Amino acid sequence: MVSNINQAKQYSEFLSRWLIANPEWENWLLHRIAQPIDREVLKGIFQENLDALPTSQLAEENFCSALRIARQKTMMYLGVRDLTDQASLYEVMQGMSDMAEIALAYASDYAKQQMQNDYGLPYYPDGSEMNIWIIGMGKLGACELNVSSDIDLIFIYDSDGQTTGGEKSLSHHEWFSRLGKRIIKYLSEITAQGFVFRVDMRLRPNGDSGPLVCSLDMLEEYFLVQGREWERYAWIKARLVYPLGMNQQNSFPPSLNSLVRSFIYRRYLDYGIINSIRKLHSQIRHEANLRSHQFPDRSADVKLGKGGIREIEFLAQMFQLIRGGQEPILRSRSTLEVLNNLGKLKLMDDASVLALQQAYYFFRKLEHRLQWRSDAQIHYLPTDPAAILKVSNSMGFEHASEFHHQLLAHQEFVANAFAQAFVLDGQSHGSSLQAELGHLSMYPEFSKRLEGMLQTKRYVLATEVTKENIECILLYILDRQPPVAEKTLLKVINFLESIFRRSSYISLLKEYPMALDRVIHLLDSSAWGADYVIAHPHLLDELIQTQTESTPEQDPNQYWSEWAKHLRLKLDEVSQEDGGQELMWNLLRDMHHAEIFRTLLADLGIGAQGRLAVELISDRLSCMADIIMQETLTRIWQSMMQSKHLEIDFTQSGFGVIAYGKLGGKELGYGSDLDLVFIFDDTQVQKPSHEMVELYMNLARRLISWLTTATSSGVLFDIDTRLRPNGVAGLMVSSLSAYEAYQRREGVNTAWVWEHQALTRARFCAGDHRIGKRFEEIRSEVLSLYRDPKSLRQEILAMREKLHAGHPNRSDHFDLKHDSGGMVDIEFMTQYLVLAWAYRYPSLVANVGNIALLGIAARVGLIDASLSDRVAQAYRDLRKRQHELRLEGKQIARVEPNEITEPILLARDAVRELWQEVMQPAL
């Protein structure tokens, strides 16, 4: 241990000077340096020096002396552990931050006692004492103090009034101002024992020109009227550091917490901040360059130089300001934790996260080595070769060249990562948009629309920055090769007009050409997609996502499990905020929209290799609908149980949701309705049946409300419940026994054949899985009942004719769904085969889709195998073409005669041929 102390003394002039002046401290250190430093250890050191007498009996000079001695002894302790590599970076940063808080608490308490004798104390109207709130900013707020940091503070008090209980009364503002001055003096005044911390108050509202303290009302007005973008950046790391008792979970008092959060974070993705951070960074870089020119020996700055600490911090905080309003895990004050969470959110690949964290560790350790030398707030390397070698050795390198190589490698990586994050440093063009208007003869309609847009009130009232960004975007598009089609340019105008008032989205497109290219691709490829992104412009963020994310096709179970987990976590977070239910409704819609948009991009081949097959699109949409319903039901059930003071988990609720139609067959498309039936288990009811029916009815109604209500984020789904027993005349929910009897045709009101047709595509999709198991048993038993093939065929043909009459096609277009040879024919034939033959071939009961069921029917000899394959391919081709037409914005999937391709002709012929084979006896 003696050797450790000597090693530290040899490196640090600061430690050596203090230990020579106080030789007894070495013995004190010998008994401690093996023990890691934590908050309790630090409290003990300060108590040794300050608690011998009550602070009220300590003269100011003695108090300040004892406070400084406690600081210097702590620095010796921490310095020896750090310089001998016994302490981790976390221990050093946390130890320095804890010491600052403890010293601040002693200084604040002592100052308050001195003030109380003369001026009394400030009180709330209810008689409780009003404390000063001291906000730690910067590295103190983030618990990242370096070993020679200033501490950045802001003093806040709750409300104005007059003090009571002293010889003289002061206004709260004056009292807290005097208190603040004393605190600063006790910490920063240099005496024979040195200082405790240098205090920087320049981050307070209005900086040096503003009052030393401000009330909560003053702070709120400042944020609303004068708060600047760089101050949002500064407040990210803000943390209440006094009173310590209020600092649970690093939170602010509630009244301050909501004010600060709304100032820092926007509810939408805030790409407008990028240019502000870029300007701030440029200003800091410029000042660093000036210093290096004035003082050439300070040019190698590991904090402010290119690829240094500040660029890592800026990079992390850029993501926080852009996304922190929507991603609570990005609201951390810790740089390392933010980087880690960027990886979790797939906003940065794991290798980059690790490399940035390693660079941060290296730079911060080096920064501490530089500062331990003389307890000076320096961040630049020495120029003397001997001093450089000493620093290199302390960093673990035998030679200075090895140290420089590692340093440069980290700086280059950080600089590149920073440059990539700020993709464009402002697009510049030789011409202006007004000049280009005279050269748009090839785009007459676009030129007219553009001139009209530039004269609209919304454009005229937009900020100059927004106008410049729009001009930059349009010039970029007009410069593209090959030229963009005029019909797409017209969609661009529609799109830009829809986001005029959201300057952040304009900034995103200006900052990220890749996103702009993808927008153009989207607008050009899909009318439905264009309408979707115009309706939900916040989805633009998805256009700049990295391609490191997994897809549902790689590992569906893992993907959807993680998606559901993420949904639950975010619902938990917003449920605790004011307006929790509405926030949850919006969150469900926002996450649903985002996943649909990701699917749409994959569907169109935007940002991916190859387009996604229709079947895979339906799988995605169906899985997502199942998860949303399950999570929504769980939330509603929990709320209902709380109101009734019951503790029944939803997994034991006895309630289930049965999906029919497209969701039941996992063939969901964009914007598809959900056909749902609600059932409950009446065999394990603990309460009277009428009470349970009312409970389940309420659950079903609330589910429909959660899913269908239009909020500021739109609608989740349209719900159709007409397939329940007895249709609109039946109860909203059915008991299992009643449902089974209805399907088995037992009793007066029983299921029709078309309802059994619908049952072939039904499945349990959400709720108590015991209900799901029992439903599948009932479904299998009902579908396996013997039916007379002839009468069954006649009923299905009658239903087919009825459906055809309901969708008349008087044009010469081919209706892919309803015309003869279309998809409905395939579905009806498949349903007939299931209902007619499942009693003999149980494999036909499986809800595996039309293509798989046709294959099963062929294998058991019910239909020709070759024809089965042709019809299976026909179903794929018809669905694909229907999907393409929907993407083009067409509501009815009909193909003009001159657009009927060979695959469509072959598909229609194959379906008609199988129809003749399967339904021939009925003709």
Q: What is the pLDDT of residues 350-376, one digit of tens each?
A: 999 999 999 999 999 999 999 999 888
Percent of the residues in the chain that have a pLDDT greater than 70, as a whole number = 93
CATH number at residue 813: 1.20.120.330
Average pLDDT over residues 218-247: 87
The rounded distance, in Å, linking the Cα atoms of 465 and 115 is 50
Does residue 267 fall inside a structural domain?
Answer: no
pLDDT band per the 50, 70, 90 thresholds, residue 441? confident
Q: Model confidence over 336-355: pLDDT tens digits?
A: 999 999 999 888 999 999 99
Q: What is the pLDDT of residue 507?
A: 86
Average pLDDT over residues 84-91: 96
**HSE-CB of 55 using CA atoms within 13 angstroms:** 20
Better-scored residue on pLDDT, 822 or 276: 822
Q: Model confidence over 590-633: pLDDT tens digits?
A: 999 999 999 999 999 887 767 889 999 999 999 999 999 999 99
- Number of domains into which the chain is organized: 5
> What domain range includes position 675?
556-783
Helix H or strand E segment including 240: strand 239-242
Q: What is the pLDDT of residue 320?
A: 93
Is residue 534 domain-shared with residue 561, that is, in the same domain?
no
The two tokens of residue 877 are 């081709």
Is residue 803 domain-shared with residue 779, that is, in the same domain?
no
Tell whether omega for the bond before 296 is within 30 degrees of 0, i.e. cis.
no
Q: What is the pLDDT of residue 425?
A: 43
Average pLDDT over residues 748-755: 87
| Domain boundary pick from 372, 392, 421 | 421
The two tokens of residue 212 are 């030393």
pLDDT band per the 50, 70, 90 thresholds, residue 220? very high
**Cα pseudo-dihedral 5, 8, 14, 20, rounded to 10:** 30
Is residue 725 domain-shared with residue 835, that is, in the same domain?
no
Does residue 217 fall inside a structural domain?
Answer: no
CB-neighbour burial class of residue 110 (10 A; exposed 0-12, middle 13-18, buried 19+): buried
Q: What angle do CA 60, 62, 64 make, to 5 degrees?
A: 70
Instruction: Judge whether residue 542 has pLDDT over 90.
Output: no
Does residue 234 fall inside a structural domain?
Answer: no
Is residue 759 domain-shared with residue 617, that is, in the same domain?
yes
The mean pLDDT of the chain is 90
Better-scored residue on pLDDT, 438 or 324: 324
Instruction: Judge whether residue 55 has pLDDT over 70.
Output: no
Average pLDDT over residues 302-319: 91
The two tokens of residue 49 are 């020096």
Does residue 223 fall inside a structural domain?
Answer: no
Is residue 76 domain-shared with residue 199, that is, in the same domain?
yes
Is residue 747 domain-shared with residue 627, that is, in the same domain?
yes
Which among 220, 262, 357 has a CA at the least distance from the CA of 577?
A: 262
Is residue 166 domain-shared with residue 92, that is, in the same domain?
yes
CATH number at residue 631: 3.30.460.10
Q: What is the pLDDT of residue 577?
A: 76
| Domain boundary pick from 735, 757, 783 | 783
Is residue 567 domain-shared with residue 463, that is, in the same domain?
no
Instruction: Judge whether residue 426 has pLDDT over 50.
Output: no
Does residue 70 fall inside a structural domain?
Answer: yes
Q: What is the pLDDT of residue 435?
A: 60
Per-residue burial over 528-544, b = 16 or more CB atoms within 10 Å of its CB, e = otherwise: bbbebbbebbbbbbbbb
Q: What is the pLDDT of residue 247?
A: 46
pTM of structure = 0.77
Q: What is the pLDDT of residue 175?
A: 97
Is residue 343 domain-shared with residue 409, that is, in the same domain?
yes
Instruction: Judge whether residue 753 has pLDDT over 50.
Output: yes
The two tokens of residue 693 are 């029916």
Average pLDDT over residues 161-182: 95
Does residue 829 fall inside a structural domain?
Answer: yes
Tell whether omega for the bond before 243 is within 30 degrees of 0, i.e. cis.
yes
The rounded distance, in Å, linking the Cα atoms of 205 and 210 is 6
The rounded distance, in Å, linking the Cα atoms of 157 and 152 is 17
| Domain boundary pick from 544, 565, 580 | 544
Is residue 513 domain-shared with residue 616, that is, in the same domain?
no
Does residue 89 fall inside a structural domain?
Answer: yes
Q: What is the pLDDT of residue 573?
A: 84
Is residue 441 domain-shared with residue 513, that is, in the same domain?
yes
The rounded distance, in Å, linking the Cα atoms of 630 and 833 is 32
Q: Model confidence over 70-85: pLDDT tens digits?
A: 999 999 999 999 999 9
Average pLDDT over residues 156-168: 92
Does residue 252 fall inside a structural domain?
Answer: no
Three-class SS of residue 121? Answer: strand
β-bridge pairing 133-136 and 239-242: antiparallel
CATH number at residue 526: 1.20.120
The rounded distance, in Å, linking the Cα atoms of 695 and 203 is 56
Helix H or strand E segment including 488: helix 486-498
Is residue 504 domain-shared with residue 525, that is, in the same domain?
yes
Percent of the residues in the chain that have a pLDDT greater than 90, as a whole number = 66
Q: What is the pLDDT of residue 548?
A: 47
